[in-house]
């Protein structure tokens, strides 16, 4: 499929005029970007114009299809059962403690198979990959190594900016831009394991139902798409919030349902956003992360934050009948030592060669106990 610079530019002009593209047109445009068949300025203009217009379901799905086909190494091995992914789009206004990673580990300690797909910080200072690297997980390993970790321990992390995972263009593009775009929305769904269950956070309330429709279209069977808020400031986050209301779209093969949840629905008093805010320093985030998974009480708001989001994973994967019960089970996993033990097991399996990852983890745990 070839496209001249004039043809590519004509479609950019349509986007500038707020006219949407079809699935096939978007797929074709992203092929041009991923294959580097257009000048850099054209590629950047396309991403900016599409993002500024506001993406449709068909446009996000078309972008995902191109990334999945051209720039994703898939894990082909057998898995013991359905896989779950909990990722956020990033680009949110409130930068918080890395709750999605903590929630994934807690859920894995409760028996959920988690196939995570994250990235280094782009619009923040400490992304999922940065944090997991700091606690001992090998973030530069092959897709097969991550897949084997999921099979062995119930959790693994694919680095969305690694050439082992996306060998073509994603790293090139994401390393050159410092604004959130449609590429972030679509690429965060390009998981090598193609999970069918998901908890997905989005940075804007207008993306909640739209993202649920995209996930259904690309093969997810059941999921929650969420956008949380801070009651005091009105700013948003791509997580279930302990600071204010959360807008949710839940989907199954039968359809979708939208609703709103509040911390008090779970017996949690809303907390100021500052209590769960990111510190911006990877070493401090790593120590807080360990403390939360140990449940030592130093960061009680972050513990509630992590367990609430883990409870949603337990609910959407069918481990519990409702989210309130999921919160209770998640808290038990932390209190029993199961969550921190799961992280150690993971660091030992998807760890840096020679046991360096496990030594890094043990050193952090010792520092936190001091």
Q: Which residue numbers belong to the known binding site for anthranilate?
A: 88
338-349 and 282-294 helices, crossing angle to 10°: 130
Q: Where are the beta strands (DSSP E) in the chain?
A: 84-88, 114-118, 155-159, 197-201, 222-229, 236-237, 246-252, 255-261
Neighbours of 61 (CB within 10 A): 21
Neighbours of 125 (CB within 10 A): 13
CA distance 303 to 139: 25
CA distance 157 to 141: 10
CA distance 205 to 136: 34
Annotated binding site for 5-phospho-alpha-D-ribose 1-diphosphate: 88, 96, 98-101, 128
CA distance 367 to 166: 35
SS3 4: coil
CA distance 314 to 333: 12
Among 177, 200, 206, CA closest to 117? 200
192 contacts 117 by C-beta, under 8 angstroms: yes
CA distance 130 to 230: 25
Annotated binding site: 88, 96, 98-101, 128, 238-239
CA distance 127 to 125: 7
Cα 51 to the center of its chain, rounded Å:
19
186 contacts 60 by C-beta, under 8 angstroms: yes
In the chain, the N- to C-terminal Cα span, in Å, equals: 60
Annotated binding site for Mg(2+): 100, 238-239
CA distance 132 to 116: 11
CB within 8 Å of 279: residues ≥ 6 apart: 126, 285, 288
């Amino acid at each position: 499929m070839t496209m001249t610079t004039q043809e590519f530019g004509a479609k950019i002009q349509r986007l500038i005029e707020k006219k949407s593209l079809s699935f096939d047109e978007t797929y074709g445009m992203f092929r041009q970007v991923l294959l580097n068949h257009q000048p850099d300025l054209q590629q950047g203009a396309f991403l900016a114009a599409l993002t500024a217009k506001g993406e449709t379901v068909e446009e996000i799905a078309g972008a995902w299809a191109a990334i999945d086909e051209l720039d994703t190494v898939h894990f082909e091995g057998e898995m013991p059962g359905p896989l779950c992914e909990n990722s956020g789009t990033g680009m949110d206004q409130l930068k918080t403690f890395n709750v999605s990673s903590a929630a994934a580990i807690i859920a894995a300690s409760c028996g959920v198979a988690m196939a995570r797909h994250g990235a280094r910080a782009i619009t923040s200072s400490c992304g999922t990959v940065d944090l997991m690297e700091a606690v001992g997980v090998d973030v530069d390993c092959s897709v097969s190594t991550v897949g084997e970790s999921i099979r062995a321990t119930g959790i693994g992390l694919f680095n969305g900016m690694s050439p082992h995972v996306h060998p073509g263009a994603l790293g090139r593009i994401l390393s050159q831009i410092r604004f959130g775009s449609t590429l972030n929305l679509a690429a965060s769904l390009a998981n090598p394991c193609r999970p069918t269950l998901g908890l997905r956070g989005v940075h804007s309330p207008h993306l909640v139902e739209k993202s649920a429709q995209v996930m259904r279209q690309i093969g997810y069977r059941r999921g929650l798409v969420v956008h949380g808020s801070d009651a005091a400031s009105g700013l948003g986050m791509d997580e279930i919030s302990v600071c204010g209301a959360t807008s949710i779209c839940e989907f199954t093969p039968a359809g979708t349902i939208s609703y709103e949840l509040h911390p008090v629905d779970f017996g949690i008093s809303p907390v100021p956003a500052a209590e769960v805010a990111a510190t911006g320093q990877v070493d401090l985030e790593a120590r807080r992360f360990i403390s939360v998974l140990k449940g030592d009480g130093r960061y009680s708001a972050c513990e509630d934050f992590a367990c609430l989001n883990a409870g949603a994973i337990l609910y959407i994967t069918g481990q519990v009948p409702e989210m309130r019960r999921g919160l209770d089970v998640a808290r038990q996993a932390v209190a029993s030592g199961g969550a921190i033990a799961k992280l150690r097991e993971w660091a030992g399996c998807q760890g840096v060669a020679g046991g360096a990852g496990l030594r890094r983890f043990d050193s952090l745990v010792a520092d936190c106990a001091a």
